[in-house]
Structure 1
Amino acid sequence: MKKLVFVGCGGIAEYHLGNMLGYKADFLDKHGIELAGFCDIIPERAQAFVDKVGSGKAYTDYRTMYDEIQPNIAFICIPPYCHGELDLETFRRGIHAYVEKPVALDLDLAGEILDVIRRNNVITAVGFQCRYGRVSDLARQFCAEHRVAFVDMTRMGGIPGTFWWQKKELSGGQIVEQTIHNFDIVRYALGDPIEVCTFGTRGFVGNVPDYDTEDLTTTIVRFENGALGTFSTGCYAEGPGCCENKIVFSAKDCRLDYHLLDKVVLYDSSAKEEEGASVVKGDGRMRGSNEGVVTKGEGDTGSIAEQTFLKAVLTGDPSQIRSPYSDGIKSLAFTLACNESMAKGGVVRVRTF
């Protein structure tokens, strides 16, 4: 019997627990995985998880939970600013863990955690579940088959209601806490960045107490393969008409529009002009096509990511995990470089691991 515990019982933990209850009989029970413990500094939250599962024990101290239950597996679902000693203690004890993103707010700390993971030979996964979607596979395939020259990422939305999200010192800001999913998908599909230059602005969000992060940022990115990119993300939107969540991968004869977890649209300009495809005229003018081949996303990527991690723990084979901690730290480095660029001004090289 493998014992699984939750550290943190907030919103993202509720999402994971809801998934698990959906496949409890067919997967957890079948493979001997027990939902054994739930820890949160708010006792009512932990107890609510016990009530939902109908078993297990609630805790307010993770060390006490670890001592009593001796778990094999932990789902670490805590706010960004809480990562640190908790993660280190988890991995020192040899507990395999699924860690929600971002894995830390400091790269030196994340590097220290990675060293402990490697020394103790534990299996990890980071909560970049978007990697497990069909549309993400197609984006990765597109980048492998075409020489992408330019990437344009846009994510515009509103402000989450969680108090810590609005404080940059606690969340890392929108790039690090939220749009890191988009940064990660570009890394997964295209490859790693070399350097970034980020500009931020404020003044578009009002009447939000204790809010001190950027309303909008735009980043210029240079990638290892020579491609360039622009990444824009904002939290000023107040209506659905203002929102967007899209990544455009552009090659010389085609492009792919990736709508996060929803669909991809392929525009292939190899067709003849009369068929409505994009055509470059002799003087450089271009006429664009309004039609593309649409492929919709399928399945719950969160459940797929969770079960992939759990199967890895059961078999001892982590090869199918698409974002272990050793890779997740690279997406953190990408986003923290953007914050550093805003703070210092100018171009910042992305740290490598």
Structure 2
Amino acid sequence: MKPLKTAILGCGGFAKRHAQVLQQLPTEVQLVACCDRNAWKAQELSAQYSAGQAQVFTDHTRMLEATDLDILIVCLPPYGHTDEVEQAAQRGIHLLIEKPIALSRDKAWQMVEASEKAGIKTQVGFMYRFGEALEYLRTLDSGPVGLFSARYFCNALHAPWWRDKEKSGGQLVEQVIHMFDLMRYLMGEPVTVYAKQANLFHQQTPGYSVEDVSATIATFPNGGLGVVYASNGAIPGQWIKDFKLVAQNLTAAFGDTNQARFFFTAQPGVPTQTIESSRDLYLAQLQDLIQAIRSGGPTRTPLREGAKSLELVLAARQSAESGAEVRLA
């Protein structure tokens, strides 16, 4: 079976991570094109990860017209999305797209409609869904989940576009959406969301308009609660993304989705189980997409899931801006 011809659109830092994964699957995928508005970035990616064999483009339309692709990996910043999803869908090209998939609900569902109408396979970059400890959790009879709590702590200025709320959507939309996606994955669809956000630590930083502290509470149909709190003013050099879950028969503490300790609270003596894995989550999500393409089955995180998680964080931002609880459709 021939390798799936793959291109990367947007050749920044995340593109390199995806290119590294492509190199691990030489019989499954082949990097044939790199596209970035800055030609030197595309050239550098091609040179480093395909020995210069991948064609270089600065316009995605030209790339899609000139190459016969099977997969397009989209690593654009949130504000950079235009019609790349729709164009790929029209050509029957499958997609792996980084989160958030858009900055507006309308744009996100436009992407979903185009991809589902074309029947292509899509995978959104919520790679934490592929953690080994998380997969183990989903095999357990935990009973109804009553509480999910997660934090996302970092301390960095990031890129200039990231600090601009109009371009990134804010920390919740661009980063913490990972934790909201996990909450949805484990608890289902929330019915309301209430949030508070503030910029406390970067008021004197030029161009910094995103929040650096936030707290969000989501409610669920069964009465369960989800709590997500985040900051970009925590420990420099550390990225803390942990969470806890309390269910009827189980309490679980996750250092990340590969590492967790489970307490079986409904059993005598409260036995425990520890999962410690080093699974490459980026590799797992690409393998899942490849399997879906080869078999015709579903992916774990299609564009529809990306749109739903985006809707949730946009609702949280709306709540913080209005000061009122937001009811979700």
Q: Same fold (TM over 0.5)?
A: yes
2:300 is matched with 322
Q: Give yes or no for contact 2:11–2:41 (8 Å, CA) kept in 1.
A: yes
Paired residues for 1:129-278 under 5 Å: 129-142=127-140, 144-159=141-156, 161-205=158-202, 208-239=205-236, 244-252=240-248, 254-270=250-266
Matched residue type, 2:256:
L
Q: How does 1:1-353 map to 2 (within 5 A)?
A: 1=2, 2-24=4-26, 27-28=27-28, 33-52=29-48, 53-54=50-51, 55-142=53-140, 144-159=141-156, 161-205=158-202, 208-239=205-236, 244-252=240-248, 254-270=250-266, 293-315=273-295, 317-319=296-298, 321-351=299-329
Contact kept in structure 1, 2:22 and 2:31, CA below 8 Å: no
Q: Deviations over 1:37-57 (max 9, x none)?
A: 100011111001221212121
The CA distance in 2 between the partners of 1:245 and 1:5, in whole Å, is 30
- Residue 138 of structure 2 aligns to a residue in which SS? helix
| CA apart distance, 1:14 | 0.5
The whole-number CA distance in structure 2 between the counterparts of 1:310 and 1:333 is 27
The number of aligned residues is 325
User: Structure 1 169/139 Cα, relative in aligned 2: closer, same or farther at 3 Å?
Assistant: farther
Q: Which segments of 5 or more consecutive residues in structure 1 lack a partner in the other structure?
A: 278-290
CA distance in 1, matches of 2:59, 2:324: 43
CA contact (8 A) 2:131 2:258 kept: no
Question: Amino acid of the residue matched to residue 340 of structure 1?
Answer: Q
Question: What TM-score, normalized by structure 2, do the two folds share?
Answer: 0.92
CA 1:210–1:187 in structure 2 vs 1: closer, same or farther (change >3 Å)? same
Q: Conserved in 2, the CA contact under 8 Å of 1:84 and 1:109?
A: no
1:308 CA drift (Å): 1.4
Which amino acid in structure 2 is aligned with residue 145 of structure 1? Answer: S
Cα deviation for residue 92 of structure 1 reads 2.3
- Pick closer, same or farther for the CA change 1:51–1:193 going to 2, 3 Å: same
Instruction: Tell me the SS of whatever aligns to 1:193.
Output: coil
TM-score when normalising by structure 1: 0.86
Name the amino acid aligned to 1:39. Answer: C
- Alpha-carbon shift at residue 247 of structure 1 (Å): 1.4
Deviations 1:135-166 (A, max 9, x none): 11133345x52222112112211235222111
C-alpha contact 1:220 1:231 (8 A) present in aligned 2: yes
Alignment check: 8 A CA contact 1:309 1:318 kept:
no
Question: Which structure 2 residue ranges, 5 or more long, are not aligned?
Answer: none
CA distance in 2, matches of 1:309, 1:271: 38
Structure 2 distance, partners of 1:150, 1:115, is: 33
- Residue 177 (structure 1) shift: 0.9
Distance 1:244 1:193 in 2: 24
Q: Distance in 1 between matches of 2:250 and 2:95?
A: 40
Deviations along 1:246-299, one digit per CA (max 9) or x if unpaired, are 211113564111222341112344577xx7x7xxxxxxxxxxxxx953211331
- Paired amino acid for 2:274: V
Q: Report deviation, 1:225.
A: 2.9
Cα deviation for residue 204 of structure 1 reads 2.4
Aligned to 1:288: none
CA distance in 2: counterparts of 1:4 and 1:252, whole angstroms: 45
Give per-residue Cα distances to partners, 1:183-207, cap 9 Å, x unaligned: 1112112211111000012222365
Aligned-pair RMSD on alpha carbons? 2.1
SS at 2:158's partner residue?
A: coil
> 3-state DSSP class of the match of 1:145?
coil
Q: Indicate conservation of the 8 Å contact 1:8/1:77, yes or no.
A: yes
Separation in structure 2 between the aligned mates of residue 327 and residue 49 of structure 1, nearest angstrom: 29
Contact 2:129 2:257 in 1 (8 A): no
Q: In 2, Cα distance between the equivalents of 1:234 and 1:292?
A: 31
The secondary structure found in structure 2 opposite 1:196 is strand
Mapped to 2, the partners of 1:244 and 1:56 lie a distance apart of 36
Per the TM alignment, residue 133 of structure 1 is displaced from its structure 2 partner at its CA by: 1.4
| Contact 2:153 2:232 (8 Å CA) reproduced | yes
CA change 1:184–1:227 in 2 (3 A) is same
